[in-house]
Every structure is written in C-alpha cells, then in structure tokens.
Amino acid sequence: MFLGIDIGTSGVKAVVIDERGSVVDQRTAALTVQRPHPLWSEQDPDAWWNATDAAVRAIAPEVRRTVRGIGLAGQMHGATLLGGDDRPLRPAILWNDGRSFAECEELERDCPDLHAITGNLAMPGFTAPKLLWVRKHEPDIFAQVRSVLLPKDYVRLRMTGDRASDMADSAGTLWLDVAGRRWSDTVLAACGLSDAQMPRLFEGSQATGTLRPEIAEAWGMDRVPVAAGGGDNAAGAVGVGVVRDGDALLSLGTSGVIFVATAEFRPNPGRAVHAFCHCLPDLWHQMSVHLSAAACVDWVARLTGANGAAEMFERAERSGIGRGPELFLPYLSGERTPHNDPLVRGAFLQLDNDSDADRLSAAVLEGVAFALADGLDTLTDAGTTVDRLAVIGGGARSGHWGRILAAALERPLVYLQGGEVGPALGAARLAQLAVDGGDPAAVCAAPPVARIVEPEPALIDILSTKKRQFRDAYARITPRQKAA
C-alpha cells in the first residue's frame, strides 16, 4: 500500500492505494484561511500538520500498517518562513495572496534575466515577491529567516526532519532555473537570499527521507520512505496519467487550472502562462491558472443560502444553460492568466428584476467556464495543441457543469474513475515509484474512463455570445475598479 497526502487550501486529504493503483481508503481534515487585511491570504503552518495528522490517523489501522511509502502533494507558492529552530516566524502567505504586486515590479526591474531563467512573469502569487514584501514590511522577521519551505515541504519537515522539495513545486517559487532544474543564484540574490536557505531538490519520484521514529509509531507504520512528490497540479496530473508530451487536464479545485505536459521547457510569459517542471524527470508543463473556480461555487452557495455546493448545482441546472442575461466575472481573488491582475475583483453584470438564486448560480458556472476558455486560448496561441482534457478535482462531480465547460472550451472532457481524488492520488503513485521503481508511464497510467462529455454544438452557439460579452466586460470594469 502507498499513502498520498495532499495539503490543500481548504483541507488535507490522505489517500491509500494498492499496488494496482486502486484507492483503498481516503480521509480528509478541514483547513481555514485567514484574511486579516484586503488582498491578504494566510494560514498557520501548524494547522497543516494538525490536519495531516488527523487525516492519516482516520485511516483504518489495518490499512496504515501495510503502507510501504508516502508521497506528498500540496498547494503551491506558499511562503513558509522558518527560524533557526525550524519553527514558523509568521503565518504562511498563500498562493492567492495579492499584497506583493509592487514587489513584482521591483523584481522585474532588478532582475532583467528573470523571464529567461524562470520562464514566468513575476506575479503576487509566487513565493519570491512575498519574500520581498516581508523584507520591506517586516525586516525583523526577514532577518531571522533560516529557511523557506513550501506548504507540503513544511509537513515533510515535521514528518522526516528533512528540508527537501521537488522540481515542480519549487518551479513555482520563481527562484528556480526551470530549464536547468536547479536553484538560480541570480534570482535568489535579487531577493536577498541564498541557496543555503532553500530545501534540497529532488525529482518527484525520488525518496527524500524516512518517517521519524515517533511519527511512524504514532501512525502505526514502519519508518517508510517519503517521496518528494509534487505541487498539487503536477501531482494531480500524475494521478490521471498526464505524463506524456501533449497530455492535458482541467483541474476544478479551489482554483482552476489547465495543465499540459511538455517534453521540453516552453515558456510564454508574455501571456501570463506558467511554465514549470513536471514532477517526473525530463518533463515540464505549461499551465493557465485561474485563482477562483470551485471557490466561486462555494461563495455563491453561501451568498444565496444554498445548503452547500450540491444544492447550488441543482439551482444552476434548474435555470438552464445560457438562458439568463446575467454575467459573472470570477475574479474574487484577482486573476493570473491571461490578465496578471491581482487587483481586479469579481462582478455580477446585467442583472434584472428576474435575477434570482437559480440564475445567479447558472451565471457563476458559466463565468468560471469563460475564464478557463481565456486560459486555453493563451495556451493554443503559444502553439500548444490541446485535443481533449482529463477532468480532476471536486468540481468534476457535476455533470451539468461539464456540459457548460465542454461547450465553452470547445473540447471533449474525459472524466476518469477516481478523478475527483485529485493530487493525493498522484502523490501516492510517486511514492510507489520511489519504493518500487518502474516505468512512470506504466505506474502512472490513466485510470479507466467513467464518461466523456462532448461539446454540444447547440450549447456552443448559445454560450458564444455570452463569452464575447464576458471578454469585453473585463476591459470595462478594470478602469472603474482601479479608480475606486
């Protein structure tokens, strides 16, 4: 058996698979996000550990005893600042925190080779600008920083005592030479840091250490190896077999991501496309990233008094697809691809006297789909071919949303058995590779297809007008929001 642990934004998921890749058990423990000021998004690193411990202990003891290896996945970009005692110096600054937009401009100015080295624009979501913000606004804390870890790697430290990370997650810091798969002294120096403060780098399928004796005893396991794992998107891709050049997925988690595996490093920073390492050797990937996807579903459910996401989806389906005039811009936390705009905010437009909870719910699903279509266009504009998309994440549970997404993206969507398990499944597969070896393409084969949602021509026609209106709306609202 192999255990995959995904440190997400809203919770930690622990999944156990057998040697054939079938899910044997899975458990979750909730997390909350703190937003003490506008644009801020933070979490207590110890909350990740407590949730991890709770999720793992919830797995049946007889299953835990058979675990032979552990893999880690997690939310990317979070700045976890540790002092000399390996304790957090402040709450972690998360991937959807937007406070460091001024520092992004500073980094772009002070590091002229940034795009060539990292293949990416400086964005507030990345880790590097966050450290510049801390250096400027919390200099006493910055002076105490002994190491900087990503969220899953702080959990690794608690599990094994090792400061280590994988290539895919580390590429999202903006400190990695992505083509060379090593830390960049040039970019680190621009942030007042050195590689001595960075974790050791591993491929995702390599073991970084073993469980501490006290953790192994508490979890009822042997001192099993822990694989490097991957950032949540790369690990999610491994979980559904997106491990060959041109394979693509759509992740519908808190954020929304279109991920395409590539055989070489293909940057396109001019369109805010992310170009990172994959968590398997000799692979890279491109991503379009949208900061709010299923987060919008949860938000409108609360706004309209729905009893959770399931009732919200029922309301949207009752309203129909493209029938109301309402438009929703899903920029609740700003946006990355293609706008790179941390200040833009969400909006409902074209409301009328008949706008109700059903129609607002429908508009939210359509708005997220249109934003994802914007992202897909940036990938295809860069010469990447996307023929179809595997779907993962909690949003994959809604067949109605799948019809909307297929029509907006004009691509078939492939729903795989267990696809909703997400990055934890990929983390478990990386653990299997670390322990048993083998061909990654065989170990990380795509799960069986549950269903395929083809784009419906009638829905493409219905949504095409609203998609044009959506794209025009961004240009119309941003001057007013920024003026305010």
- Say which residues have a Cβ less than 8 Å from residue 458's Cβ, sequence separation at least 6: none
**Active-site choice (153, 162, 232, 358):** 232
Q: Is residue 166 among the annotated active site residues?
A: no
For the chain, report the end-to-end CA distance as a whole number of angstroms.
55
According to DSSP, the β-strands at 389-392 and 413-416 are parallel
Tokens in use for 428?
């478990």
Q: H-type helices in 266-356, by residue range?
A: 294-303, 309-319
Those residues whose C-beta lies under 8 Å from the C-beta of residue 92, and which sit 6 or more positions away, are: 42, 43, 44, 45, 78, 79, 80, 81, 151, 154
**Contact criterion met (CB below 8 Å) for 40 and 125:** no
Handedness of CA 304, 310, 311, 317 (dihedral sign): positive
Tell me how far the alpha carbon of residue 167 is from its chain's centroid.
15
Phi-psi domain of 117 (left: phi exceeds 0; alpha: psi -120 through 50; beta: other): alpha
Distances (CA, A) of 282 to 74, 204, 211: 21, 11, 28
* 104, two tokens: 């992004």
Q: Which residues does the annotation mark as catalytic?
A: 232
